[in-house]
Amino acid sequence: MQTRRRFFKWLQNIFLASLAGLGFYSATRFLPRPPKKILVKERLKPGQILVKGAFFLEMTKEGPVALSRRCPHLGCLVTYVAEEGHFVCPCHQSRFDLTGRYLSGPAKKDLARLPVQRTEGGLIVEVPA
């Protein structure tokens, strides 16, 4: 009698631990994470493009524009080809113009625009985590 009660108590603890683990996994995997805020101190001239980790930053007449380097097709890091004046995905050759607009390739979407804030210390770009 005592061993059966102990067995069911053990089974209950295993079930509750599994349920807690599943809840923790779901929370860390599926809940949105806050974006990373990256400070850019470099001063850009109009038309100059800065490649910084996960984004491109360009100073336009309207102000600073940040574009994600993640290709919307499969997430490869897009590179800037200065000679051709556009962005190219090295994985499947999707091409984007300097505004991030889709030109050709399998991507079918534009590069994502990222929020940019001006501060006294420079520009803050919010990059998805």
The tens digit of pLDDT for each residue in 4-26 reads 889 999 999 999 999 999 988 88
Residues 22 and 8 both lie in one domain:
yes
Residues 27 and 42 both lie in one domain:
no
Residues 27 and 90 both lie in one domain:
no
Contacts of 91 (CB under 8 A, 6+ apart): 71, 73, 74, 76
Residues 14 and 59 both lie in one domain:
no
Residues 96 and 79 both lie in one domain:
yes
Residues 3 and 21 both lie in one domain:
yes
Q: For residue 80, give the CATH number of its domain.
A: 2.102.10.10
* Coil, helix or strand at residue 30: helix
Please count the other Cβ atoms lying within 10 Å of the Cβ belonging to residue 121.
9
- Name the residue range of residue 87's domain: 36-127
Residues 102 and 119 both lie in one domain:
yes
Q: What is the pTM of this model?
A: 0.72
- Nearest Cα neighbor of 58 from 46, 70, 68 is 46
pLDDT at 10: 92
Which 8-state DSSP code applies to residue 103?
A: E
**Could you give the number of structural domains in the chain?**
2
Residues 66 and 93 both lie in one domain:
yes
126/54 Cα distance (integer angstroms):
10
The model's pLDDT over 60-85, given as tens digits with 9 standing for 90+, comes to 888 888 999 899 988 889 998 888 88
